[in-house]
Homo-oligomer: A and B are copies of this chain.
């Protein structure tokens, strides 16, 4: 029942970590994520201290910048692009546990090793902190710790939703959930009729996120299109005439 090795999810274990474009510290107070990252918990003067602890890096598409099981030396804050987080089995089966983008904090680890991998989907920019440095920062700024806790709580809720999806939803419900989730990311809670989504991930990524195969994702999308629930445009762009109907399917309220 679970998909095994296909061309897509072979244990490619690709190109190793390449940190390109190390730009050194920039000024955090003009940072793109000033408003929504962990940094939003800090005042301007505190930010200055933060800046000294941070290193900005750029990661090209397809490159893994956190290797599953490697030493958890750093924390990251995403300032641009989209990252996929994943876990794998020895034979190459892979589960994407989440897609994260701007403002997202990354690197919570329970042991001294990362329990997951992280790969850039498109061009990704991030802010890196060493673990000891972040520790001393949270020591100093309890508000930051509070911010981290609320971020963790958010992720936990998302993880529980995803467990429901993976354990109990049909292919159609899964794909609808994914699409609706993308809608929520772009627009907020209020999604206009005939909204458009544009996402950078491939069918294979979506499949690994939804616990399906590429073929099933493709077929299911075709089905949704046949039923007039989505229309597909060029380049990973999809229109949703009636987000409400899509949500109903995603939540298992209709066949």
Contacts and interface: CB of A to CB of B under 8 A. Distances in A.
Interface of A: 1-3, 85, 87-91, 93-95, 97, 108-110, 115-116, 138, 142, 145-146, 148-150, 152-157, 159-164, 166-171, 208, 210-211, 251-253
Nearest to A148: B149
Contact of A153 (B94, B108, B157): B108
Contacts of A160: 85, 87, 97, 115-116, 159
A222 B136 CA distance: 52
Contacts of A152: 149, 152-153, 156
Given A89-B251, A90-B252, A110 B154 contact: yes
Nearest to A248: B90
Contact of A89 (B90, B149, B166, B169): B169
A106 B115 CA distance: 23
A170 B4 CA distance: 10
25 contacts: A1-B170, A2-B167, A2-B168, A2-B169, A87-B161, A87-B163, A89-B164, A89-B168, A89-B169, A89-B252, A90-B251, A90-B253, A91-B252, A95-B164, A95-B168, A97-B163, A97-B164, A110-B153, A110-B154, A152-B152, A156-B159, A159-B160, A163-B163, A166-B167, A167-B210
Contacts of A108: 153, 156
A135 to B, nearest CB: 10
Contact of A149 (B149, B157, B252): B149
A109 B153 contact: yes
Contacts of A170: 1-2
Nearest to A145: B145
Contacts of A1: 1, 170-171
Given A87-B161, A152-B156, A166-B211, 8 more contacts: A87-B164, A108-B156, A142-B142, A149-B149, A152-B153, A156-B159, A163-B166, A167-B211
Interface centre among A87, A154, A164, by most chain B C-beta atoms within 10 angstroms, is A164
B211 A168 contact: yes
